[in-house]
């Protein structure tokens, strides 16, 4: 650890209790940064919507109604706050305890935490978890970055570029995982993997089409966030060799993924990072992804997978047919080098230290 211990209050995403999978990649980011800060001797308290399943980290569970997921709304939609909003309740809690902390870190992609920043006497840092989605949010994010320089962090430059008028400095945290939790597999079965929230912006139908065209079974894992979208895929591709395995724990998920020839990433939107990519690579599994957003800064084209023309299913199929040229060892080594929890912890600690001036 480089500095005196900090007292950190992490405020979770507002769309699901931690561990339910509704929070998507930000759950893993929050967990790994918290664990790494604790390991380095900092104090961490995590505020989450009630119903969290984690039992190995210090949690404060707050009741209330979840936010609508931002990616299901239109750019020009007004900011919506439900009655008895869990987001408002979490930030009321933060207001009450703020004098016990050196820094509050916001993980929610919502208007309120950014708007409240100047109302707090404790500094507030924001990990922006997605690319630009809403005019109202863009404005408050850019304004917060301007009024509080250095308090915004993104996962990647590709994600930050979707907010055109950002003022510097901004931090790029990328992401990181505990590589020891992912077991390397040298010789996979004849199957492909698809991981993530089952929601239109993730483009699962393209992965299903790859399975149909190549005849290689596709193992699908993740939370069904949009049930009608999932039903449409099943009706549209009744004969595709696919199997839905549910939302698995990190341990169960990597047992399946490690035995796959590749992970397909078929996202329609600018994926801020793509935690699923480093989870697969850690098992030695190459990633075949659209050249869009975060995966562009994770995958080394031709070395740890393939970066494909966005929305080109035939490009994905070509990647599958060229997998024999990828060395699965180099996939794992790329995560050990760039995306370990230690590397993430170094980036997060540097960000916190820069805000706290030490
Ligand atoms: N939507 N309104 C809202 N707030 C969030 O915190 C949020 C979200 N959608 C998705 C999301 N967080 C997480 O899945 C991120 O990891 C992307």
Tell me the pLDDT tens digit for each residue of 242-284.
999 999 988 999 999 999 999 999 999 899 999 899 999 999 9
Query: Could you give the dihedral angle defined by the CA atoms of residues 36, 37, 42 and 47, in that order, rounded to the nearest 10 degrees?
Result: -120
At 358 the pLDDT is: 67
Q: Which residues contact 156 (CB under 8 A, 6 or more apart)?
A: 172, 174, 272, 273, 293, 294, 296, 297
At 3 the pLDDT is: 65
At 216 the pLDDT is: 98
The answer on pLDDT for 22 being more than 90 is no
The confidence band for 357, taking pLDDT boundaries of 50, 70 and 90, is: confident
**What is the pLDDT averaged over residues 151-170?**
94
At 246 the pLDDT is: 96
Element of type H or E holding 311: none
Q: Over the stretch 177-215, which tens digit does the pLDDT of each residue have? A: 999 999 999 999 999 999 998 999 999 999 999 999 999
Range name among 2-11, 150-159, 175-184, 285-294 with the lowest pLDDT average: 2-11
Range name among 26-30, 139-143, 336-340 with the lowest pLDDT average: 26-30
Distance CA 82, CA 86 (A): 9
Name all domains of the chain by residue range, CATH numbers in brackets.
7-176+340-356 (3.40.50.2000), 179-338 (3.40.50.2000)
The answer on pLDDT for 21 being more than 90 is no
- Cα distances (angstroms) measured from residue 236 to each of 232, 245, 257: 6, 19, 25
**What is the pLDDT averaged over residues 145-163?**
96
Q: Which of ligand 1's atoms lies nearest the C-alpha of 130?
A: 17
At 182 the pLDDT is: 95
- Percentage of the chain exceeding pLDDT 70: 99
Does 110 contact ligand 1 (Cβ within 6 A)? yes
State both tokens at 320.
Answer: 């599958």
Of 347 and 357, which is predicted with more confidence?
347
Q: Which of 129, 137, 279 to mutate to test the pocket of ligand 1 (most atoms within 8 A of CB)?
A: 129
At 335 the pLDDT is: 97
Does 23 contact ligand 1 (Cβ within 6 A)? yes
**What is the pLDDT averaged over residues 300-321?**
98
Helices 341-356 and 25-39: angle between axes, nearest 10 degrees: 80
Q: Over the stretch 261-271, which tens digit does the pLDDT of each residue have? A: 999 999 998 99
Distance CA 297, CA 277 (A): 11
Residue nearest ligand 1's atom 15 by CA: 26
> pTM surpassing 0.85?
yes
At 124 the pLDDT is: 98
Does 191 contact ligand 1 (Cβ within 6 A)? no
Q: Which of 22, 64, 70 to mutate to test the pocket of ligand 1 (most atoms within 8 A of CB)?
A: 70
At 4 the pLDDT is: 82
Q: Over the stretch 86-137, which tens digit does the pLDDT of each residue have? A: 999 999 999 999 999 999 999 999 999 999 999 999 999 999 999 999 999 9
């Amino acid at each position: 650890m480089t500095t005196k211990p900090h007292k950190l209050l992490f405020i979770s995403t507002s769309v699901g209790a931690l561990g339910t999978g509704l929070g998507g990649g930000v759950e893993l980011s929050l967990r790994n940064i918290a664990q790494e800060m604790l390991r380095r001797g900092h104090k961490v308290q995590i505020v989450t919507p009630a119903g969290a399943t984690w039992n190995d980290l210090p949690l404060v569970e707050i009741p209330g109604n979840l936010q609508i997921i931002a990616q299901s709304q239109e750019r020009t939609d007004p900011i919506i706050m439900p009655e008895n909003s869990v987001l408002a309740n979490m930030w009321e809690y933060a207001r009450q305890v703020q004098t016990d902390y050196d820094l509050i870190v916001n993980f929610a992609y919502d208007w309120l935490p950014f708007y409240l920043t100047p109302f707090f006497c404790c500094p507030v840092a924001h990990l922006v978890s997605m690319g630009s989605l809403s005019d109202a949010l863009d404005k408050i994010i850019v304004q917060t970055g301007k009024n509080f320089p250095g308090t915004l962090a993104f996962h990647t430059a590709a994600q930050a570029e979707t907010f055109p008028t950002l003022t510097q400095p901004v931090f790029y945290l990328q992401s990181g995982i505990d590589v020891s939790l992912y077991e390397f597999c040298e010789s996979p079965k004849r199957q492909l993997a698809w991981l993530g929230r089952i929601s239109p912006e993730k483009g699962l139908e393209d992965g299903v089409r790859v399975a149909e065209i190549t005849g290689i079974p596709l193992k699908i894992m993740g939370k069904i966030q949009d049930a009608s979208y999932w039903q449409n895929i099943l009706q549209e591709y009744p004969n595709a060799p696919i199997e839905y395995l549910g939302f698995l724990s990190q341990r169960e998920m990597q047992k399946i993924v490690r035995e796959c020839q590749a992970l397909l990433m078929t996202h329609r939107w600018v994926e801020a990072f793509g935690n699923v990519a480093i989870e697969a690579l850690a098992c030695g599994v190459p990633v075949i992804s659209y050249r869009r957003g975060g995966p562009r800064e994770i995958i080394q084209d031709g070395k740890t997978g393939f970066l494909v023309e966005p929305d080109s299913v035939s490009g994905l199929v070509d990647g599958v047919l060229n997998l024999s040229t990828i060395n699965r060892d180099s996939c794992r080594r790329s995560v050990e080098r760039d995306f370990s929890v230690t590397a993430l912890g170094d980036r997060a600690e540097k960000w916190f230290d820069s805000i706290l001036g030490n």
